[in-house]
Amino acid sequence: MLAIRNNLMAENAARHLGKSYDALAKSVERLSSGLRINSAKDDAAGLAVRELIRADVAVLKQGARNARDAVSMLQTAEGAMGVIDELLVRMKELAEQSATDSYSDTQRTIMNSEFQQLMSEVTRVAQSTSFNGITLLNSSSTYNIHVGSSDTIDIVAETMTATGLSLGNTGSKEYETNKVGTPNPNLTGWITGKAGGGTLAVRFGTEAALSVSFADGTLYSMNQVAQIVNAESQAHSGYNAASIAYDSGTNLYSLKISAENNGAVAVDYTGTDQTGLLSTDFSNTNGAAGGAVAIDTKSGASSALTALSTAIDTKDSYRAMLGYMMNRLESAVSIVDIQAENLLAAESRISDVDTATETAALTRNQVLANAGISMLAQANSMPQMALQLLK
């Protein structure tokens, strides 16, 4: 029907032009971003899957970085173990030299001086080697390396000091309250500070004594005593000197004071206690103060050879562990990288635009938009035909 008031052909052409223009805009958006899914309305389910995959990929990539950092940590420790290896070989060489009768005691003393310095260097290297504050050669901690959202690889630290290798002071050095203390280490009133306050003095080797005071008349449990001592020993030497020992035979507990790295220790307590288990002379030990390995005598050198063989075996075992743990972590990196790569491929298939297909769609939409514009122009001119009838 030819009409002037309503131009139905123009309305129809405009509607189709709008659809073509919207499709053209979407094609341009996809091609410019490289993504098929730019918002949830494009593909709600696909968007949810994509974001989950992206999170998994991010975790895997960080896990690979974690494993690489752990390899660096192990390489740091293994490099130090190489130095310790050289020191132990030289120490064994000196022990072999001192064990023969062709040298005098004076010469053995000179050899022992070098031997002791090398042993001190073993301890220094083990204690000072760290990675981000982690000392793999001077602790017994276990470190969990995350190589995925739920996968971990454990690395166990060992003490590679002279004492840890059974070359340093090897005696117990643990001072303990007489036999047993209490059936409950949290029992209040295990000790009571005397008039003027009780004092526990702990001396490590030749260092100044560490003094721990207990307030006059205050009741303390065994655990409280241990906490007070450890607070002071941490500030003094950076380790916990006190611990609670459990005797399975009596089902009772006692307080132990130990020197760092099993070094020499002397303990004295001045105060009173309700149970009578803390004597004024806090000195009964769980073993004699053992001395360090020395080669200043022929017999000492012979014993040192045996001790050094054991130390080298211990060192080799841990160094080998560092090696195969590095290999394991590197394998984990390879696997994690492959997993991340495959997940990225899956995410790409879900989210990325197919450029060839979308370019064809862009061309089609451009043609439709151009045709729509032309037809809209023609439709807008149709009412002019009605004017011919009015002349």
Number of domains in the chain: 2
In a domain, 79, yes or no: yes
Residues 160 and 183 both lie in one domain: no
Average pLDDT of the segment spanning 135-150: 86
Q: Is 364 a member of any domain? A: no
- Give the domain extent around 250: 174-270
- Give the E-state strand segments of the chain in sequence order: 142-146, 152-156, 174-176, 191-192, 198-204, 210-214, 219-220, 242-247, 252-258, 265-270
In a domain, 147, yes or no: yes
In a domain, 184, yes or no: yes
Domain identity same for 85 and 156: yes
Q: Of 213, 239, 270, which marks where a domain is finished?
A: 270
52 contacts: CB under 8 Å, gap ≥ 6: none
Same-domain pairing of 67 and 143: yes
* Structure confidence at residue 282 as a pLDDT band (50, 70, 90): very low
Burial call 323-358: b when 16+ CB within 10 Å, e when fewer: eebbebbeebbebbeebbeebbeebeebbbbeeeeb
Q: Does residue 206 register a pLDDT over 50?
A: no
**pLDDT of 318:** 93
CATH number at residue 259: 2.60.40
More confident residue, 34 or 281: 34
Give yes or no: residues 88 and 157 share one domain.
Answer: yes
Domain co-membership, 236 together with 302: no
Q: Is the pTM of this model over 0.75?
A: no
Distance in angstroms (rounded) separating the CA atoms of residues 92 and 99: 10
Residue 179 predicted with pLDDT over 50: no
The answer to whether position 20 is within a domain reads: no
Domain membership of residue 358 (yes or no) is: no
**What is the average pLDDT score of the chain?**
78
Residues 307 and 162 reside in one and the same domain: yes
Q: What is the domain-level CATH number for residue 60?
A: 1.20.1330.10
d(C-alpha 360, C-alpha 374), whole Å: 21
Considering 51-55, 298-302, 325-329, the range whose residues carry the highest mean pLDDT is 325-329
d(CA 11, CA 1): 14
Model confidence over 61-118: pLDDT tens digits? 999 999 999 999 999 999 999 999 999 999 999 999 999 999 998 999 999 999 989 9
Please check whether residues 333 and 300 belong to one and the same domain: yes
In tens, the pLDDT along 220-240 reads 777 887 888 878 777 776 677
